[in-house]
Amino acid sequence: MLFIHNDVVQKLLNMKDCIEVQEQAFRDLAEGKAAHRPRSDIYAPCELEDGYYRWGTMEGYSGGYLAIRMKSDVMRWPVSENGSWTEEKYCVKMGTYCGLIMLFSSTNGIPLAFINDGILQHMRVGGAGGLGAKYLAREDASTVGMLGSGGMARSYLQAYCAVRSIRRAKVFSPTKTNRESFAEEMSSLLNITVEPVNSAEEAVRGMDIVSSCTDSMSPTFDSDWLSKGQHVTMLGPMEVSKQAIRKFDVCITQGKSGLNASENSMQEGIGHSPVAWIAGSEAERSRLPKKQLKTSGFAVDFPDFSDLVSDPMIGRTDNDQITYYHNIGNQGLQFSSVGGLVYEKARERELGREIPTEWFLQDIRD
């Protein structure tokens, strides 16, 4: 069995391969050759008076691999002066995080690997955004407007460059030094022009691809800034407004993101969690953010990627349409497909740390 650290994942995984294995897994899902359980979370009171503990899991099977992704986070939801929410998290202390993928073989059930999820998480999400652009952006798309300048934004821009001939990008994020650093780094990495701009509107207007990659829990752009022929995608479900949804000519969601289950006081969507089971007193639960902001387009029912593969006519059919890819869903399947690829590459190149498989086996029937 292997332990595969982020440093190893970064050496092994490239964006082109990341997009390709996810595309195949999503196609396999449409043909009944893959399966996944959508994300669900458990919330419990924690040490913070204004926070909550969150445990999240999701699973997927594809290509002979079963993966479970596990996250252990302490959560906070700061509110800005204008009333908008953001999501902050850590494990143990600010700046450290705990996310792991455990990979198994479906052939004989053997545990194969533990994989740190940091790099893989960024790559699978950005890669899926690129997959949406591959199917829905105009063939001649060459410019990108980025909202956000963090790690996810970097992955998204790499993915767009992998599926379209991108020449120029604009980036806006609230902190000037962050967007300037992003522009400098990505210009060098991708050999394109990346310009930091002073407003979200300037980043969105007139760009072929619009990409919101923030931790915001409220819409990040005005629907009036959109124009014919654009392709739009996002990171979090709250970033796109209902007004924008109404303006899109084509809307495709990646797949199923949450379990369908009747809700009660202990089970409901919270923030970026599509389904959550919640422990705690009424006073403790008051720390949690509102279930869904009224301005958000979250929870809208769209055709999914499997539908698009089966019937391309539900996608872009002319260059004037505004298309939208709701880059949420099939998460467990993403971890099995990309995790399986990383494991194979690690074995091929003899990377990763060996740990005894027998530590994870027992002779007592469970």
When the pLDDT of each residue in the chain is averaged and rounded to a whole number, the result is: 92
Q: Are residues 97 and 151 in the same domain?
A: no
Q: Are residues 49 and 171 in the same domain?
A: no
Confidence of residue 27 (pLDDT cuts 50, 70, 90): very high
Q: Are residues 218 and 297 in the same domain?
A: yes
Which residues contact residue 202 at a Cβ distance below 8 angstroms, ignoring those fewer than 6 apart?
A: 170, 172
Structural domain boundaries enclosing 309: 125-258+290-326
In a domain, 181, yes or no: yes
Q: Average pLDDT of 283-305?
A: 71
Confidence of residue 293 (pLDDT cuts 50, 70, 90): very low
Q: Are residues 93 and 145 in the same domain?
A: no
Q: Are residues 11 and 150 in the same domain?
A: no
Cα distances (Å, whole numbers) of residue 26 to 132, 152, 254: 12, 21, 9
In a domain, 365, yes or no: no
Q: Are residues 236 and 355 in the same domain?
A: no
3-state secondary structure of 243: helix
- For residue 253, what is the enclosing H or E element? strand 250-253
Q: Are residues 134 and 254 in the same domain?
A: yes
The CATH number of whichever domain residue 310 belongs to comes to 3.40.50.720
Residue range 77-121, pLDDT digits in tens: 888 777 777 889 999 999 999 999 999 999 999 999 999 999 999
In a domain, 80, yes or no: yes
As for how many domains the chain has, the answer is 2
Cα distances (Å, whole numbers) of residue 329 to 30, 44, 212, 236, 333: 14, 24, 17, 11, 9
Name the nearest CA neighbour of 287 among 99, 85, 94. 85
In a domain, 316, yes or no: yes
Q: Within a 13 Å sphere around the CA of 12, how many CA atoms are in the beta-carbon half?
A: 24
DSSP per-residue codes, 1-55: -EEE-HHHHHHH--HHHHHHHHHHHHHHHHTTS-EEEEEEEEEE--S-TTEEEEE
Q: Are residues 219 and 238 in the same domain?
A: yes
Predicted confidence at residue 83, as pLDDT, reads: 72
Residue 107 to residue 358: CA distance in whole angstroms: 17
In a domain, 302, yes or no: yes
Q: Is residue 35's pLDDT more than 60?
A: yes
Confidence of residue 271 (pLDDT cuts 50, 70, 90): low
pTM of this prediction? 0.90
The CATH number of whichever domain residue 42 belongs to comes to 3.30.1780.10
Q: Are residues 215 and 115 in the same domain?
A: no
Q: Are residues 298 and 220 in the same domain?
A: yes
Q: Is residue 155's pLDDT more than 50?
A: yes
In a domain, 269, yes or no: no
Confidence of residue 294 (pLDDT cuts 50, 70, 90): very low
Copy the structure tokens of residue 81. Answer: 């002066």
Q: Tell me what percent of the residues of the chain surpass a pLDDT of 70.
A: 93
In a domain, 303, yes or no: yes
Q: Within a 13 Å sphere around the CA of 325, how many CA atoms are in the beta-carbon half?
A: 30
Q: Are residues 210 and 307 in the same domain?
A: yes
Cα distances (Å, whole numbers) of residue 21 to 14, 127, 342: 11, 10, 11
Cα distances (Å, whole numbers) of residue 187 to 156, 169, 199, 245: 14, 9, 19, 31
36 pairs with which residues across the strands?
60
Residue 169 to residue 197: CA distance in whole angstroms: 10
In a domain, 274, yes or no: no
Q: Are residues 59 and 147 in the same domain?
A: no
Residue range 207-217, pLDDT digits in tens: 999 999 998 88
